[in-house]
Structure 1
Amino acid sequence: MSYKYFENKDCEFYPCHKVGDINCLFCFCPLYNMECGGDYETVPGRDGEPIKDCSNCILPHIESGYDYVMKRLKEK
């Protein structure tokens, strides 16, 4: 699991999600620009256009997240 998991406890934003062991490998989710399957909601951005608020999503940060992200990226 070493190349699939890394936790950055020194980050000023750590922890960014409410989950036990958080995987920081995908700090900025590579699935953001697609229908990802994660737990997000749409909120108005600065220009009024909708953007994703992924605060409640832990999908890329859990142990199986690496495999899920890689699978979804290959589907794209």
Structure 2
Amino acid sequence: MENSSRFFANKECEYYPCHKCDTDINCLFCYCPLYNHDCPGDYKIVDKGDRKIKSCLNCTFPHEPDNYDLVIAILKEYR
């Protein structure tokens, strides 16, 4: 699956890996397309001054190769 239309690992990136993960990280979703949506990953809502923000620090959901189809399905729901 390396560098296919469903998976790309940019191992030359200065931030790779951006999360701790047991497998190679899928960089197709480098900036999470689910940030403004309900993500099934392990995100947290944290206080940032006087507002709350979504922290994806420990979420690897969109970066896991097997989750490509589910990420696409979730995005289609929000069209």
Scaled by the length of structure 2, the TM-score of the pair is 0.85
Given the alignment of the two structures, is residue 72 of structure 1 paired with residue 39 of structure 2, yes or no? no
Given the alignment of the two structures, is residue 34 of structure 1 paired with residue 32 of structure 2, yes or no? no
How far apart, in 1, do the equivalents of 2:47 and 2:27 lie? Answer: 26
Runs of 4+ with >3 A deviation: none
Deviation at 1:57, TM superposition (A): 0.9
How far apart, in 1, do the equivalents of 2:28 and 2:68 lie? Answer: 8
Instruction: State the match for 2:5 in structure 1.
Output: 3
Please, which runs of 5 or more residues in structure 2 have no aligned partner?
none
1:6-17 alignment to 2 at 5 Å?
6-17=8-19
Please, which runs of 5 or more residues in structure 1 have no aligned partner?
none
Scaled by the length of structure 1, the TM-score of the pair is 0.88
1:43-54 alignment to 2 at 5 Å?
43-45=46-48, 47-54=49-56
Deviation at 1:67, TM superposition (A): 0.5
Cα RMSD between the aligned structures?
Answer: 1.3
Q: Which amino acid aligns with 2:41?
A: G
Q: Which amino acid aligns with 2:12?
A: D
